[in-house]
Amino acid sequence: MRDHQARTEINCSPVIRLRTRQVNETALKEAIHRLGWRVYATNAPTESFSISDALLAYREQYIAERGFGRIKGQPLSLTPMYLQREEHATGLIRLLSIGLRVLTLIEFVVRRNLSGLSIAGLYAGNPKRETKRPTAEAILSAFKNINWVRIKSNHDSYLTPLTKLQ
């Protein structure tokens, strides 16, 4: 005889409240034709979150989502693993968040210092492709083959010759 667990069913009935205003239909049709249209939804009360605030928050959401993608993918690679203690998992995630902050800082500083200039040579297989907003991963990849060797016996050092891009 099989053990069957009790079935649990949850029914939700969402409530949708719409605020309507007088709309210039001609202007609306022109804007939709020019820009397209989107539906935005939030569960935040209208008293605490205006429509323009919600739109700005939504448009900047990709910034946080990109960071999560970096943590889960290359170069940080948070992957499922077995850790015996919860503190180890917490420490690993904190360490990866520091790595994410470093990547974000590198990107911010380089983009600010470029101030609109385009640079080429960051993309493997496409050296003429230019970008005004390089990613930290592309920047670090451009510097990965630099070696510095210091010889203690005679106080000499050797640095790999730098390219124009570096």
Write down the domain spans for the chain: 85-159
- What are the structure tokens assigned to 81, written together? 């693993």
pLDDT tens, the chain, 166 aa long:
556 666 666 666 666 666 666 778 888 788 888 877 777 777 777 777 777 777 777 776 666 667 777 777 776 676 667 778 888 888 888 888 888 888 889 888 988 888 878 888 888 778 888 888 888 888 888 888 888 888 888 888 888 888 888 7
Residues 125, 127, 130, 136, CA torsion sign: positive
Q: Identify the H or E element spanning 55.
A: helix 51-59
d(CA 156, CA 36): 63
Residue 86 pLDDT: 84
